[in-house]
Structure 1
Amino acid sequence: MQSRIAVIGLGSMGYGMAQSLLRAGHATYGYDINPQTAERFQAEGGETETLAGIAETLDVVVVVVLNAEQTQSVLFGSEGVVARLKPGAAVMACATVAPEFARRMAARCAEAGVLYLDAPISGGSKKAGEGALSIMASGSAEAFAAARPVLDATASTVFELGDSAGAGSAMKAVNQLLAGVHIAAMAEAMTFGMTQGVAPETFVEVISQCAGTSWMLENRAPHIVAGDYTPHSSVDIWPKDLGIVLDAAKSAKFAAPLTAAALQQFLAASGSGLGHEDDAAVAKVYARNAGLTLPGDA
């Protein structure tokens, strides 16, 4: 059956999800702070009405913004969508946020008669466009049922992690700990290899087939070899995401030294003006400190 779905946030992940929903035959509305992005989506077949005009007819609102502050603004700000939704409509929140924040949003949605699915996403922009994301979701059975058309259209794997919000975001924090550390470790290993005469392209060829590889290495290291830092996932995402991990670790009285070390490298990259580049640009911090020249650099 066709559902009426709004995707709020047409960045690299949200745009791909909206495209996947269109392919699945759903009436899909796409909204973004950049009007040109929304217009491009409409040119590809997206619906054209304003969010205020159609909110009460929506079955699901998918929120794919950057952080908790933006999520809260979309849901409950001065033009918040929750107050306009019909009872039983669902919010599917995909940003990486603290588990406690997800629980608060779920409670506020429940007060308005709206279902909330805590549904962080993983897989990158390519998989988002293919409808092949992994989604770490938690919420009531009713929230899962309401959001099922979105889950089916955008994900190859849906992990159902519990019947209340927070569990999905907790799992995403675990994933982001590993992902952030792996990117920083890849950058460190590649630039260390350069000091030993190992060319970046040789590093990728060999290590991607050895025990030291990781998904992040295989995905991000080629960006460095190509000298292409077009942001699929930017440096500035990581101070936020690893900050969430460290805040949760502090609350649990858990030491996370590897996370803290990776965070410092991303902060150094951001402070060097690289915040809006692809997160593989963290390698530039290592290269600068070692006097190395990465591919594509003069």
Structure 2
Amino acid sequence: MTTDPLGLIAYGFSNLFTFSYTASTGNLAVYENNSLSPSTPFLPYAVDYDGSRGIIAGFLKNNQNSRIKYNATIILFSIDASTANATQIKSWKYPMNGTTWQAGQTNAGADKNDPKFDMSVSINPTATQVLVGIQSMNTVLLFSYTATTLTLVTSIDKGRGIGFGKGVAWLSDTLNSVAILANVYSTSYVWSSSKIYVYDSPLTSTSQPISIFPNNEQPLYSYMSSVFLNIITTPRELVLLAAQGGLFVMLSAPSGYYSSTIGPTVEAVPAFSSQLP
């Protein structure tokens, strides 16, 4: 589910239908078909919309005889708010014939709402770029897009594993600052903790983070779970949504200061960072 940039219209997507809801009029439009992929089942997992074009990430079902059951697929689309009819403009599929370990994944179970298949999408409308996180592949993809094209720019991963890309967010529309949420799992897929990787230069396959949160200077707020469900950004804040209802807002700090994440001495929801020199 997503909204237009002003939050006036909400859009929802499933493998069976799409809908739009206009808050000012209370109008709910439902399109009872998977218009993004009418002939092949497509399972949407994450979406973002810039007001004109949207990017949705999910899994496309393959032929029943294929070893790869579901293929990670990214779709550029437009949508009519009055009818909720979404139109596919361009799509990109993760190559199944590649030599990477990700290409060999069957993605069996992607249709069971297994959390390990969660994806994330974040559009930067100023740069006309989009981040797509595929945590089951431990990978984040960077695309550029226009009204009619969708082009893979680069990708970054953390090796064989799972969790990197649970969440993605742009820290600035005009700079190349991004945040990537990575979950830490045990070998039996027990979710134990989370980390946030921050990059401040154009993302490449060899990019190194300038910071990984939490750390010694920016520890985790003591009343907050170490398991993060999502990250959200505004022009001035990074918001962490944690398990057990925790919500922490990291405010931007001016030059010469940093955002202290120690938080208040009592439990607060939401809790806010403070500025320290």
Q: TM-score, normalised by structure 1?
A: 0.31
Instruction: Give the structure with the higher percent strand.
Output: 2
Instruction: Give the structure with the higher percent helix.
Output: 1
CA radius of gyration, larger in: 1
Q: TM-score, normalised by structure 2?
A: 0.32
Which of 1 and 2 has higher RCO (CA within 8 Å, sep 6+)?
1
